[in-house]
Amino acid sequence: MSETHPVALVTGAARRVGAVIARTLHAAGYDVALHYRKSRGELDALAGALEARRAHSTLVLQADLADGAQLPGLVDAVVARFGRLDALVNNASIFHPTPLGEITAAQCDEFFAVNARAPLLLAQAAAPHLKAAHGAIVNVTDIYAERPLPQHVAYGVSKAALRMATAALAQALAPAVRVNAVAPGAILWPESKSDADRDAVLARIPLQRTGTPEEIANTALWLIRDAGYVTGQTVRVDGGRTLAG
């Protein structure tokens, strides 16, 4: 039972931004439930490092978020282990090109199941426990939830749905639970992006650099722990990139 430490469930916690969010919350005193789908080795390494810092402070959970039947069990497992749930971070996402003319129904279903439906259903399952803790939800969206990314039609539409879910959940769960989103800009480059593509992106960022996973994680921590009068908002962490239109 986690009687003294608040507890956060982080989806997609094995790698990249999700792992940094988990480490940041853990360093801030949270016990963390770490969800993964396939990256078990990386998740075990992360959990081992966190356990070395504070014993009995992690829980490893595997689930395919596209399977809605598995989602309530994630919340149940967290509460069974720690006795509480104070924060939900919906970080897990799928991302790959879907040019118009090549989009399939199966691709649409996959994007919406993972990027929009899973966060909504996890929030619903977690709601009673978050209300009891006066907790918070943070959804990781994208600046492309409000502006199109060429060749990524289905992804953008699914992230736009998550942005609306953020606002709708904030209204539905108030006043006990705050719900906000973080919209990253250029943080970690896709492996397929060329140097020329990267230079073109950087030229459009007023701060003239990429962001870091730590900057996303610190924003998530602020929204969870410190932003007591903020709900229903999407915080862009993009170096000013959206100013360019």
Q: Beta strands 7-10 and 31-36: pairing type?
A: parallel
**Closest of 49, 92, 51 to residue 74, by C-alpha:** 92
- Residue 155: active-site member: yes
Sign of the Cα pseudo-torsion (59, 60, 65, 68, in order): negative
In the set 30, 36, 144, 155, the catalytic residue is 155
Q: Which residues contact 97 (CB under 8 A, 6 or more apart)?
A: 151, 152
User: Whole-angstrom Cα distance, residue 143 to residue 39?
Assistant: 26
User: Which residues form the catalytic set?
Assistant: 155
